[in-house]
Each structure stands twice: as C-alpha cells, then as structure tokens.
Amino acid sequence: MQIIKVIDHFRILSLSSQKFILMPFLETPIEGLLVFEPQVWEDDRGYFFESYNQQYFAQNGIHTVFVQDNEAKSTVGVLRGLHYQTSTAAQAKLVRVTEGEVFDVAVDLRPGSTTYGQWHGVFLSAQNKRQYFVPRGFAHGYLVISPTAVFCYKCDNFYDKNAEGGLCFDDAAIGVEWPKIEGKYLLSEKDKVWPKFGQHKI
C-alpha cells in the first residue's frame, strides 16, 4: 500500500452566505479533515473573532455536538500522540493553539477509506489562528515547535480508557515528517510504546 503525505495543502470548500465571512472552510486532500481560518477584526484595542459558531458548521455539513473542552500547555519538543479511541467511544476534535505553535497531524484509520493510512499535517499557531477539524476515525497528535504552546480542543465524546488506542509516532509505514528541532522529542512513557500501523487496536 502506498502511503501518501499531505502537508498544508488546502482548497476552499465553502463559505458562509452571510454578509461577512466569519469562517472559511478549507478542504484538505483527506476527506473529512478540514481547516478553518476565522476572519479576524483588529484595531488599536486588539482583535476579535468567532472561534466557533455552530450555525456555520451545520451550514457546511458538520453537525458534531461537542461535549468537552480540554487545554494542555507544553514546552518545545513535546510530542503528544498519535491517539484515538475505538468503536462508539471514537472522538471528533476541533483543535487550535492560543499560545505558541505546533505541528498537528491526523492519520486516517477509517476502514474502507480511500485514504486509509494516509496522514495530513498543518501548522497551528496563536498567530495564524487556524483550527483543525479531525473527524472520528483518525489518530491525532502534535509536536510543539515554539518555546511553549497552549493547545485547546473540543471533543464530541468523553475519554474512555478501555477504548484508548495509539500509533507509533515515527512508524515508517505512515511516514509522518515531523519538523526537526534541537534535541530529542519529549514523549510520555505511554506514547513511546504504541504499536506500528497494521498492528494497532481496531
């Protein structure tokens, strides 16, 4: 099977029909993975933007109901992933960064998908304010490439330890091209021992 890499490659999927475009939806080469670039209004006082609007999501075919918000702060070189949950415990996520910058990755684990085993990566930062919608059926992870980063994400399902799964972050069969940093990546003990693609929990 050929594994295809796709990084920061988008096209505009659709736009809100409102007078002011608040949140363009950008399609990636992997169906279902979407990037959002909210319209930001800035002046000498600071800025304002809508980080989430359920109506706009629904207008574009995304009817996910989020039930929990999480936040994590990490230092440069911290790599978290690649994580997912199985079966009815699977999670869709909407992720963004409010401080610093990360390289965010999703791997398609949906059986029968034409892009099964393929990955996509996007740079998320407090400056670009991009958000990444990761549907159910994907493994997900990120690498911090700034001195520190605050990573925030919405989930549509709760954590279930019994359904927890993961992939080896540097599995050659997937071939994620993580950015180079000075020093080694910093992983949890759990993230160091996830199985390779093809041996992962289904």
Cβ neighbors of 27 (< 8 A, separation 6 or more) are: 10, 11, 12, 13, 34
Catalytic residue among 84, 140, 153, 200: 153
Catalytic residue among 83, 120, 140, 200: 83
Q: How far apart are CA 156 and CA 12, in angstroms?
A: 25
DSSP assignment of 122-140 equals EEEETTT--EEEE-TTEEE
Distance of alpha carbon 167 from its chain centroid, rounded?
A: 15
Query: Hey, what amino acid is at 108?
Result: D
Residue 47 catalytic? no
Peptide bond preceding 34 in cis form (omega within 30 of 0): no
Return the SS3 of 162.
helix
Residue 153 catalytic? yes
Q: Which residues are tagged catalytic?
A: 83, 153
